[in-house]
Structure 1
Amino acid sequence: MVPPAGEPLAPTFFEPDVAAHAQLLAVHGFNDHQTAFASFAAFAADRGVLVETYDQQGFGRNANWGYWPGRAVLVADLAARIEARHAARPDLPLYVLGESMGAAVAVVTLAEHPELPVAGVVLSAPAVWGGEAMNPFYRAVLWLAAHVAPGWRLTGEGLGVQASDDIEMLRALGRDPLFIKATRVDALAGLVGLMERARDDGPALVLPRLVLAGARDEVVPPEAIDSFVATLKPEACRYVRYEEGWHMLLRDLQRERVWRDVLGWIEAPAAFTGSPCGTASADAGS
């Protein structure tokens, strides 16, 4: 039996010691939790950006840890947190930063709720590799397993996929009890459905957007992100690909370069150097 979604857990805030000029709501990736943003959030707070992080339902400290909560729950949670964050500091422009699955949740939420008071969204290594792009055989196996043995768990061992070049950070994740290491098949199927929806919803977004990708990403193929970016409206949208970047761009060894790009875009989006969306080409970052 799948545990129901509980009450949203309290978020964590990174408050600037100086006067804040912007605020950022960060949404973590699949099997991860809010601590993923701790280093970046501290860096941003030191530069006048208030950061809020939280554990999405099904992840982190939630009682339904390890179970897929459903797209509707993830979207409703983010929408409510956006409203609450804006109400808490209506004087500050509010940005959303989504990493991997968190980026997919952000896309779907903002497409379904264009009225939300968001000044812009940053999509870091967005999970937009849907079922249509998967090998048909693997897609059929996933569908069958999700319907016949939804509780079957996959560890990913033996796939040879590397998520970052920061090996010490990856080892720390391996010791982290809140990081999910054995994924239920029905959760994986739910993720694929979310990625497909985000890919379809992306062209509907008109707010300022910054898309970040790593040329060495082994989790979401760079060509899948290129294809997604090509569908986005070019107005107020920039795309940056880091040649030495992996999937966990915000935690890679070159992370401070990415952090500075995110903050630079927030501070002056019109002056930000990057390729316009609507094309598969990208600049190489600052």
Structure 2
Amino acid sequence: MTGQVYLIGAGPGDPELLTLRALRLLQSADVVVHDRLVSDEIMALVPAHIRRIAVGKAAGFHPVPQDRINEILVDLGRAGLTVARLKGGDPTIFGRGGEEYDALIAAGIACDYVPGITAAQGAAASLRLPLTHRGMATGLRYVTGHRARDAELDLDWASLADPDTTLAVYMGAANMVQISAELIAHGMPADLPVMAVSQATTPRERRLQSDLSGIAEALRDNPMPAPVLFLIGRVAALAEEEVLRLPTAEPAPLHKLFSHG
């Protein structure tokens, strides 16, 4: 008899943003297979007797390649185990959940998705800003700023360079020079507000504010630990208004760097 695998979204890091279903599955599974970016606070909710397998990756460092992760999940399922495959954010948004789902179904292993709050939603809530707002942003786009090794970051820049849409860029810190240059070259205003958020919703959250022309330089001068999310668009100005009212906020002439608290 084969087991069951659940592809679970851990959310952006705050354990209070974990869904009730996700929590129940984490506390009843036989084994938890987890990514590097799942927060310590979330992992603390997993009972000590449950087996844990870390399969996390970092930029340029993949100790457990994706094909091997797929094999691990299939092997655990074939062993008749209930598996909680825990991913940061939502498993269907830049989480390679679709690849793992396909591998499991092809092997005859039952698999379900358990959605999680994605980083853009978590960051927006922490910043107290709307991702869409009448007269400022009529839509929202999610895009990955990550590229495979030695590959070009090939995106539909003309489509993305829409100032009436909020652009959420995941995993884009290493390529922000190219991203900002391409967006400006394709018509996005250079002074469009940008808010970068590191480790959103956790006690380690940091915020860096600039505009599209200055965000790459600001990030270079103020490195932020992964994961870093970029919110590009007019609504980011609303974050500025709110963040400046927080006790820890200190404005700087060119850009502003904030710590959560």
TM-score by length of structure 1 reads: 0.33
More strand by share: 2
TM-score by length of structure 2 reads: 0.36
Q: Which has the larger radius of gyration?
A: 2
